[in-house]
Amino acid sequence: MAMKMRSPSYPAVDLKAAVDLAVKIYPGAKHPLGASVIAEEWGYASISSASPYLAALKKYGLLEELPPGNGGSRLLKLTPLAIDIVVDPSGQTTQRANALKKAALNPAIHAEMWEKWGGDSVPESEIRRYLEVERNFNPKYVGKVAEVYKNTIAFSKVSTNDIEANHEDAALLHRDTEVRTNRKRKKMPGTKEDIYTLSDGDVVIQWPEEILPSDLEDLDDWLDIMKRKIKRSVVAETPDKSSAITPEDDE
């Protein structure tokens, strides 16, 4: 029996549609709301009908899921990122513009496609080929994924300069943090951590002690992206970095 092809995770709607949905539940969703309540506010009769849109807002970083409430009901609320966007519907503030750019690349597949092409104009046929051949998307979904991505990038007005500036800011913040802590890392409460030591330094992974199944899907996609990034850092070994066993190692 042939296995059913399962496409990687992707948002069901573009960022503009996701923002419109966030606006519909603001300001009530600044506080936790039941998933059924949000579905009703959006005009859906059931949570299952609204689920693709709940998931899309989570992928953009506009909704966060909280521990179940009384009776085990799903609870969600708008994130600070979403509030930065929806409080300024006229779109005049720098804060809203920056939040849109961040949200646009929050979905793992969007971050991956942006990393590959950046702000370059790419034929849709190439995007479809990449998604279907290299990323193993079900062919019937590649058109939708390509459309959502292109619409989201256009709506957010994200540019290569924005990403480069963010990388520079992140590098400065990382350096300052290293100085303040004297290169001693602190594990955050409520997290787990594992460290793998390489010859040139440590690889550190930290994750929450509890992860929702829906978030695990996105994490899987992000880890795939990170593996591809790490592979680009691989260099040829020199005699100083060889894996040969020395007499001391053999003792």
231 backbone φψ class: left, alpha, beta (φ>0; ψ -120 to 50): alpha
Tell me the pLDDT tens digit for each residue of 98-137: 999 999 999 999 999 999 999 888 898 999 999 999 999 9
Kindly report the backbone phi and psi dihedral angles of residue 224, in degrees, each rounded to the nearest multiple of 5, phi listed first: -60, -45
CB 152 within 8 A of CB 116: no
With both helix axes pointing from N to C terminus, report the angle between 47-59 and 213-231 in degrees, rounded to the nearest 10.
Answer: 30
Amino acid at 96: R
Tally of residues, the chain: 251
- Answer for the pair 14, 158: CB distance below 8 angstroms, yes or no: no
Number of other residues whose CB lies within 10 A of the CB of residue 248: 6
pLDDT at residue 1, rounded to an integer: 44
The pTM score is 0.68
Decide if 46 contacts 86 (C-beta within 8 A): no
Phi, psi of 191 (to 5 degrees): -130, 160
Provide the pLDDT for residue 213: 77
d(CA 76, CA 203): 33
Residue ranges for the chain with pLDDT beneath 70: 1-6, 162-189, 199-200, 236-251
Cα(145)–Cα(165) distance, rounded to whole angstroms?
Answer: 27
- 35 and 76 in contact (C-beta within 8 Å)? yes
pLDDT in tens, 48-69: 999 999 999 999 999 999 988 7
Cis preceding-peptide flag for 27 (omega within 30 of 0)? yes
Write out the two tokens for 142.
Answer: 């590649």
Q: Can you tell me which residue has the tokens 């594992």?
A: 194
Asked if 26 and 63 touch (Cβ cutoff 8 Å), the reply is no
> Can you give the pLDDT at residue 191?
78
